[in-house]
Amino acid sequence: MSSAVLISISLGYVALLFAVAFAVEKWGRSGWLQQRSGLVYALSLAVYCTAWTFYGSVGRASLEGLDFLAIYFGPTLMMPFWSLLVRKMVRLAKDNSITSVADFLAARYGKQQGIGTLVALVLVLGIVPYISLQIKAITDSFMVLTTGQIARDVVWYSDPGLLTTIFLFLFTILYGARYLHGNRPKKGMVTVIAFESLFKLTAFLAVGIFVSFSLYRSPADLFQQAAEVLPNFDDLITVSSGKGLTDWFLLLLISGLAVVLLPRQFQMAVVENTNEQDLKTAQWVFPLYLLLINLFVLPVALAGLLLPESLPADYTILGLSLESGSGLAVWVYLGGFSAATSMIIVSTLALGNMLSNNILLPILIQLRKEKSMHKRIVWTKRISIGVVLLLAYLYYHNLALSETLLSIGIISFIAVAQLAPALIGGIYWKNATSKGAWAGILGGIFIWFYTLILPAFASDLGNSLWITPTNIAQIQELTPTSNAIIFSLLVNFGLFAGVSLYSSPSASEKTQGELFVDVFKFTNEQPNRYISSAHFPSLKSLLIQFLGGKRTEEVLDRYARMHQIDWKVNPQADSRVIAYAERLLTEAIGPASARIMIASVVQEEVLSMQEVVSMLQESQEVLQLNKQLKSQSMQLQKLTSDLQLANEQMKAMGLLKDDFLYTVTHELRTPLTSIRAQAEILLDTDDITDEERNFFLSTIVKDCERLTRLITDVLDLEKFESGNQKMQLTFEQLPELVQEAIDSTQNLIKTKSIELQVDMPKDLPKTYLDRDRIIQVLVNLLSNAIKFCDTESGKIGISVYQINNKLKVNVLDNGQGISPDQETRIFEKFYQAQNQLRLKPTGTGLGLAICKNIITHHLGSIYVKRVSEGTRFSFEIPIFNSLQHFIKAYENTLQKDFDRG
Amino acid sequence: MKTPSKKILIVDDEPNILMSLDFLFRKKGFDVFIARNGSEAIQILNSEIPDLVLLDIMMPDVDGYEVCVYIKEKETLKATKVIFLSAKSKKTDIEKGIAMGADLYLTKPFSTRELTSEVERLLTHA
C-alpha cells in the first residue's frame, strides 16, 4: 500500500474525530446518545486500552501465552472497589473544583504546592514514555503496512507519527483545553474517545473473527494446528507457573491500581463524570469491554506464530489482516490508530493540565508583572500540552525504543502505582499527612528508578552496586518486574504510613483530611476553614486578573442573584463568598496557587481543628433542623392550598350564575347582530337586487329561529336548575318513544342518506317517565349523531335493552368522535360553543346540558364514550312500575343531596 | 385619476355577520378580505396590508386580542386601523380593547350606519 494513500486515510480519520467533536460541542449529543450518557461514559473509560492493548497483547501472547490477561483481569477484579473509590473521588473533585490527580493530592494534603509538583513530575516521568509508545505504534504500524517491516530510522519530516502528533496537539487544545475552567464538561472530546473505543473494539473483533472462522475453519481447528506445530503450545495456553505466577499476581495488583490512578483514567472517570449514576453502567460495561477486546488475542497470536514469514510479534495482527486483503488491514491499522490517538489525547490533556497547574503557573504567578493573567492561563495550558507531546516525541525519536510495547507499559504502570498509598490512604485515613505522602511517593519512585530505569541505562553499573537493582533481596524466585513492584510499593507504603504516624498534620491538612474522608457527610456544605473577610473590590480584581472581566462579572452576578447579595450595599465579602472565589480560582490555576492568591487579599484567622469540626457538626444540626422545618412548612402549604381550593369552589358557585348570564347574553347578541346588520342593509341599500333581498330576508328568519331556540333552551334549563320543572309522569314503553324520536328525525336521516340500525326488543318492561322530556333527550342525541356522523357514509346505531333494574339506550355514530377530556365536559352549558375549533356550532350549546338535567331528574345517568366504531352516547334510567316508587326514590335522592349539600 | 380603493379585513367566526359586512363594504367600494378565525386573519395579514381591520374578539383558536397584538407589533402594519366588534360588552372589556391599541370598540349588536361612518372617519383622517 502506498504511503500517500495511507496518510490520506489517517488524516481522514483524524478529520472525522474533529467533525464528531465539533458536532457534539455545537449541537449537543442527539436524542439517542443523550439518553445513554452512562454508555458513553463507560466506553470513554476504555481509553484504558491503548495501542499497547491493540498490538502489544498479541505480541506478548505470542511470547508468553496468557500472561497478558493480568492487565485486564486486574481492573475487572478491581471494579467493585473502583466504583466505591471513584464515587468518592468524583464527589471530592466536584466539591473542590479539582481537575487532575496532582491537584487532587495537593488539595488533600493541605493545598500545598509541593506535593502537587511532585505528583506532576512523577506522572510526567512515568507517562511520557508511554505516550511515546503510542507514537511509535502509529509509525510502526504505518511502516508495516506500507513497507512490510518496522523501519529503524525514520526521518522526522516523513514520519507519520510526527504528523499525527501535530494534529492531536491541535485536537487536544481545541476540544480539551478550550476553556479556562478545566472541569467544564468536554462533551465533544468525551464522545470522540467513546467513539474511538468502539472503533478499536470492532476492528479487533473483525480481525479475530476473520482469523478464527475464515483463515481457519474454527477456533478449534486453529488450536489443533497450533498444538501440532508449536513446540511451546502448552506454555502458551496456560498462565505461567513459578516465577511467572508471582509476576502475574503482582500485575493484577498493579493494573488494578492503574485503572484508578492513570492520569487518563482519572480524567475520564473523575473529571469528565457528569452523573454519579453513570458509574453503575460503567461497572458492568467496562469489564465487558475488556472481555470482548481480549476474546481473540490468543487465537490471533497462535495464528501469527503459524505464519510462515515472521513479523515483529507486536504487529502480528496487522500481518494477519493483510491475508484478507488491504480492506481489513486498513481497518485494523485504523483500530490501532484510534487506540493510540485516544490515549495520546487524554493523557496529554491530563498531564498538560498538571504541568501547567503545578509547575508552570506557580512560576508564572511568582513572576507576574501584568495585571491580566487569564489569557495567559489558557495559553499556559496549551503550551503545557505541547510540551508533553514534544517530550514524548523526543523520547520516541532519540531514545531508540528497543523494548516491546508491553514492557514500557508496565514500567509506566508501576510508576503510577506509586501514588496509590497517598491517594487511597488520603481519602480513607484522616491521619495521613503531607510529610507521609512526600516520603512514600519519593521512596517508591526512587526504588522504581533504581530497579527498572537504572539497569536499562547502565546495566554494567548495576552489578557494581552494593544492592543489585534487579534483585534487591537476592531471592531467586523473583523476576526483575516482581522485584520492582514488591519493593517500590513496600517502601512507599511503609514510609507513607510510618511518617504519617510520626508527624503531626498542619491545621489545614487536618481539615482537608476530615473533609476528604467524610465527604459524603459534608456534601454541599463547604465548611469554612477561616473566619475571614475581604474587601470585595480587591477580591473581584483578583478574580478578574485570573478569570477575565467577562467571566468574573458573570459568575459574581450569578452568585449575587442566588444569595441575594448586593455588592454595592455590602462591600465586605464574607467567608462563603471567599470560599466560592477560591473554588473559581481552583478551576483555573489549581488548589495550591488558588490558596496563595486568596490568602493575599483576605484577612483571616485560621481556625483550630476543633473549631472547624464543631462548626461542621453545627451545620449538620442546622441541616437536620432545616429538614424538619421544611417538612412542616410543606404540610402548612398543603393545608393552605386546600383551604384556598375550598374557598375558590365556593366563589365559583356564585360566579357560575353570573357567568351563565354573561354567556347567555353573549349568545343572544350574536344572532341579534346579524339580524340588525342585515335589516339595516336592506333598509339603506337602494340598488339591491331581488335575489339579494330574498337571501337577506331568509337569513334573518333563520337567525330569528336560532334566537327563539336559544331562549327556549335557556328557559328550559333555568326551570330544571331552579327546581321549578314539573314532571309529567306516565307509564310508558321506552322503545315506542325511541321510535317516535326516529320518526321525527326521519327526514334528516334520509336526506343525508345515513344508514340507521335499530336494535330493540319488543318485550321490555314499561316504566314511569316524563314522555315529552325523554323524547326531547332522544331527539337531541339523534340530531347530534346525525350532525356529527361520517359525512360520506354516515352510520347510526340505536339500541335499547334492560340491565338489571334499568333501561339503557345507546346512540352510536361513526363520526370523528371526541377526545377523552371532553367526555365529561361536553355536558356543561355552552361547552360546545366555547370549544369547538373547526365549525361554528349550529346548536345553542345547551342541548346536552338539558339532556343531563332531564336524565338526572329521572334518577338516571348519561354519559359519552369514544369506542372503536365512533362515539357512543348512552343513558340509563331505573325502571319504576308504580308512581309511588318513583316519588319515593326521587325524594330519597333529594334528601341525600340535601344532606350532602 | 381614480384613487385605489381602501383595503379592509373583516374577521368574525359568525358566517352571517361576516357575509353581511362583506356585502356592506363591497357596496361602499372597499376592497374586502374576510377571515373566519384568527389564524386565517394572520395568514392574510402576512401578505396584505389592509387599511383597516374589523375584529371580533371571541373566536376559536387565535382570538381577536392576539390578532390585535400581531398587528400592533408588525412594522408593515403600522398604519393599519383596528376596530373591535364584540359581544363582550363589559366596561372592562372595552377598556382592555382600547388599551391594546384598537382605534374603536363597538359592542354587538352595532349599528351598520355608525360602523360605516366611523370607518370612513378613521380612513379619511389617516
Per-residue pLDDT tens over the stretch A355-408: 888 888 888 877 765 566 777 788 888 888 899 989 888 888 776 555 555 577
CA angle in degrees (0–180, nearest 5) for A369-A375-A380: 85
Partner-chain residue, chosen from B24, B89, B110, that has the shortest CB–CB distance to A681? B24
Partner-chain residue, chosen from A677, A687, A702, that has the shortest CB–CB distance to B17? A677
Contact B110 A665 (CB under 8 A): no
The sign of the dihedral angle between the CA atoms of A756, A757, A761, A762 is: positive
Residues of B in contact with A689 (CB under 8 A): none
Q: A744 and A675 in one domain?
A: no
For chain A, what is the radius of gyration of the CA atoms?
A: 42
Q: Mean pLDDT of all residues in chain A? A: 80
Report, as an integer, the average pLDDT of A130-155.
Answer: 79
What residues does A802 pair with on adjacent strands?
Answer: A807
Report, as an integer, the average pLDDT of A151-166.
Answer: 74
A461 pLDDT band (50/70/90 cuts)? low
Q: Which of residues 65-104 of B touch A (CB under 8 A)?
A: 87-90
C-alpha cell at A571: 462591600
Q: How far apart are CA A762 and CA A779, in angstroms?
A: 20
Q: Which residues contact A335 (CB under 8 A, 6 or more apart)?
A: A54, A199, A200, A202, A203, A204, A207
Q: How far apart are CA B10 and CA B112, in angstroms?
A: 14
On whether residue A837 sits in a domain, the answer given is: yes
**Residue in chain B nearest A699 by alpha carbon:** B16
pLDDT: is A583 or A760 the higher one? A760
Residues of B in contact with A840 (CB under 8 A): 13-15
Contact A666 B58 (CB under 8 A): yes
Asked if B24 has any chain A CB less than 8 Å from its own CB, the reply is yes
pLDDT: is A261 or A640 the higher one? A261
Give the domain CATH number at B58: 3.40.50.2300
Q: A431 and A338 in one domain?
A: no
Helices A847-857 & A690-722 angle (0-180, nearest 10) = 30
Strands A530-535 and A572-573: antiparallel
Q: How far apart are CA A674 and CA B87, in angstroms?
A: 12
Report, as an integer, the average pLDDT of A562-586.
Answer: 74
A553 pLDDT band (50/70/90 cuts)? confident
Q: How far apart are CA A469 and CA A459, in angstroms?
A: 9
Chains A and B form CB pairs within 8 A to the count of 67
pLDDT reading at A140 higher than 80: yes
Per-residue pLDDT tens over the stretch A27-62: 766 666 666 788 889 999 999 988 878 888 888 888
Q: How far apart are CA A698 and CA A676, in angstroms?
A: 13
Which of A557, A580, A607 is the C-terminal boundary of a domain? Answer: A607
Q: What is the ipTM of this complex?
A: 0.89
Least confident of A93-107, A698-712, A832-846, B88-102: A832-846
> What backbone phi and psi angles, to 5 degrees, belong to A799?
-135, 145
On whether residue A412 sits in a domain, the answer given is: no
Q: A460 and A550 in one domain?
A: no
Strands A729-732 and B52-55: unpaired
> What backbone phi and psi angles, to 5 degrees, belong to A664?
-60, -45
CB A844 within 8 A of CB A709: yes
Q: What distance lies between CA B62 and its chain's CA centroid? A: 15
On whether residue A732 sits in a domain, the answer given is: yes
Nearest to B7, CA basis, from B61, B45, B42, B38: B45
Label each residue of A21-67 as H, E or C: HHHHHHHCCCHHHHHCHHHHHHHHHHHHCCHHHHHHHHHHHHHHHHH
The sign of the dihedral angle between the CA atoms of A57, A59, A61, A64 is: negative
- Per-residue b or e along A756-777, where b marks 16 or more CB atoms closer than 10 Å to that residue's CB: beeebeeebeebbbbbebbbbb
Q: A644 and A749 in one domain?
A: no
A164 pLDDT band (50/70/90 cuts)? confident
Measuring CA to CA, how many Å separate A324 from each of A113, A143, A207, A214? 55, 18, 9, 9
Q: How many domains does chain A have?
A: 5
Q: What percent of chain B has pLDDT above 70?
A: 96
pLDDT: is A310 or B25 the higher one? B25
Contact B20 A681 (CB under 8 A): yes
Measuring CA to CA, how many Å separate B125 from each of A78, B50, B116, B118, B122? 87, 16, 14, 11, 5
DSSP per residue over A285-300, as a string?
HHHHHHHHHHTTHHHH
Nearest to A843, CA basis, from A772, A787, A774: A787
Q: A634 and A559 in one domain?
A: no
Give the domain CATH number at A53: 1.20.1730.10
Contact B17 A692 (CB under 8 A): no
Task: Write down the pLDDT at residue A900.
Answer: 46
Q: Which amino acid is at A285?
A: V
Q: A304 and A166 in one domain?
A: yes
Contact A673 B87 (CB under 8 A): yes
Selection from A103-107, A307-311, A318-322, A599-603 with the highest mean pLDDT: A103-107
Measuring CA to CA, how many Å separate B120 from each of A739, A747, B8, B30, B35? 58, 48, 11, 11, 21
Asked if B58 has any chain A CB less than 8 Å from its own CB, the reply is yes
Task: Write down the pLDDT at residue A616.
Answer: 56
Q: How far apart are CA A523 and CA A119, in angstroms?
A: 26
**Residue showing cell 473494539:** A201
CA end-to-end span of chain A, whole Å? 93
Q: A696 and A677 in one domain?
A: yes
Q: What percent of chain A has pLDDT above 90?
A: 13
Q: Give the residue from B11, B13, B14, B20 with the most A CB atoms within 10 Å of its CB, the best one to mutate.
A: B20
CB A415 within 8 A of CB A254: no
Q: Which of residues 783-812 of A touch B (CB under 8 A)?
A: none
pLDDT: is A469 or B58 the higher one? B58
Contact B109 A840 (CB under 8 A): no
B88 pLDDT band (50/70/90 cuts)? confident
On whether residue B2 sits in a domain, the answer given is: no
On whether residue A105 sits in a domain, the answer given is: yes
Least confident of A732-741, A833-842, A885-894: A833-842
C-alpha cell at A399: 531514545
pLDDT reading at A536 higher than 60: yes
For chain B, what is the radius of gyration of the CA atoms?
A: 13
Q: A448 and A464 in one domain?
A: yes
Asked if A842 has any chain B CB less than 8 Å from its own CB, the reply is no
Which of A366, A384, A406 is the C-terminal boundary of a domain? Answer: A406
CB A577 within 8 A of CB A542: no
Helices A420-428 & A507-517 angle (0-180, nearest 10) = 80
CB A582 within 8 A of CB A601: no
On whether residue A411 sits in a domain, the answer given is: no
Report, as an integer, the average pLDDT of B26-37.
Answer: 91
Task: Write down the pLDDT at residue B83.
Answer: 94
On whether residue A800 sits in a domain, the answer given is: yes
- Per-residue b or e along A108-118, where b marks 16 or more CB atoms closer than 10 Å to that residue's CB: bbbbbbebbbb
Asked if A561 has any chain B CB less than 8 Å from its own CB, the reply is no
Q: A533 and A500 in one domain?
A: no
Report, as an integer, the average pLDDT of A657-685.
Answer: 82
Contact B23 A681 (CB under 8 A): yes
Q: How far apart are CA A870 and CA A877, in angstroms?
A: 23
Which of A588, A607, A626 is the C-terminal boundary of a domain? Answer: A607
CB A730 within 8 A of CB A863: no
Number of H helices and E strands in chain B, helices first, is: 5, 5
A800 pLDDT band (50/70/90 cuts)? very high
Task: Write down the pLDDT at residue B105.
Answer: 92
Q: A696 and A769 in one domain?
A: no
Report, as an integer, the average pLDDT of A796-801.
Answer: 91
CB B86 within 8 A of CB B93: yes
CB A480 within 8 A of CB A468: no
Q: Where are the alpha helices (DSSP H) in A429-574?
A: 434-448, 454-457, 459-464, 480-502, 507-517, 536-547, 549-563
Give the domain CATH number at A883: 3.30.565.10
Task: Write down the pLDDT at residue A531.
Answer: 56
Least confident of A821-830, B45-54, B55-64: A821-830
Asked if B17 has any chain A CB less than 8 Å from its own CB, the reply is yes
B17–chain A nearest CA distance, Å: 5
Label each residue of A822-848 as H, E or C: HHHHCCCCCHHHHHCCCCCCCCCCCHH
The DSSP element (H or E) to which A326 belongs, if any, is helix A326-355
On whether residue B17 sits in a domain, the answer given is: yes
> What backbone phi and psi angles, to 5 degrees, belong to B61?
45, -110
pLDDT: is A361 or A473 the higher one? A361
Q: How many domains does chain B have?
A: 1
Asked if B110 has any chain A CB less than 8 Å from its own CB, the reply is yes
Partner-chain residue, chosen from B15, B90, B113, that has the shortest CB–CB distance to A684? B113
Asked if B23 has any chain A CB less than 8 Å from its own CB, the reply is yes
Report, as an integer, the average pLDDT of A107-136.
Answer: 87
Strands A806-813 and A870-878: antiparallel
Burial (CB < 10 A; 0-12, 13-18, 19+), residue B3, is exposed
Q: A99 and A32 in one domain?
A: yes
Q: A149 and A26 in one domain?
A: yes
Least confident of A622-626, A836-840, A868-872: A836-840
On whether residue B69 sits in a domain, the answer given is: yes
Burial (CB < 10 A; 0-12, 13-18, 19+), residue A459, is exposed
A667–chain B nearest CA distance, Å: 8
Contact A675 B87 (CB under 8 A): no
Greatest extent of chain B over all pairs of C-alpha atoms, in Å: 46
A465 pLDDT band (50/70/90 cuts)? low
Q: Which of residues 687-726 of A touch B (CB under 8 A)?
A: 687, 692, 696, 699, 702-703
Per-residue pLDDT tens over the stretch A478-509: 778 888 899 999 999 999 999 999 888 877 78
Helices A243-261 & A480-502 angle (0-180, nearest 10) = 50
Q: What distance lies between CA B56 and its chain's CA centroid? A: 7
Nearest to A134, CA basis, from A463, A422, A393, A361: A393
Report, as an integer, the average pLDDT of A242-255.
Answer: 82
A840 pLDDT band (50/70/90 cuts)? very low
Bond prior to A455 in cis (omega within 30° of 0):
no
Give the domain CATH number at A708: 1.10.287.130
Structural domain that includes position A464:
419-520
Asked if B113 has any chain A CB less than 8 Å from its own CB, the reply is yes
B93–chain A nearest CA distance, Å: 12
- Per-residue b or e along A863-876, where b marks 16 or more CB atoms closer than 10 Å to that residue's CB: ebeeeeebbbbbbb
What torsion, rounded to 10 degrees, do the Cα atoms B74, B79, B80, B81 define?
130
Q: How far apart are CA A201 and CA A294, in angstroms?
A: 9
Structural domain that includes position B17:
7-125
Q: How far apart are CA A696 and CA A675, in angstroms?
A: 9
Q: What distance lies between CA A632 and its chain's CA centroid? A: 33
A304 pLDDT band (50/70/90 cuts)? confident
Contact A673 B23 (CB under 8 A): no
Q: Reduced to 3 states, what is the DSSP secondary structure of residue A861?
A: strand
What pTM value is reported for the model? 0.59
Report, as an integer, the average pLDDT of A317-331.
Answer: 82
Contact A670 B21 (CB under 8 A): no
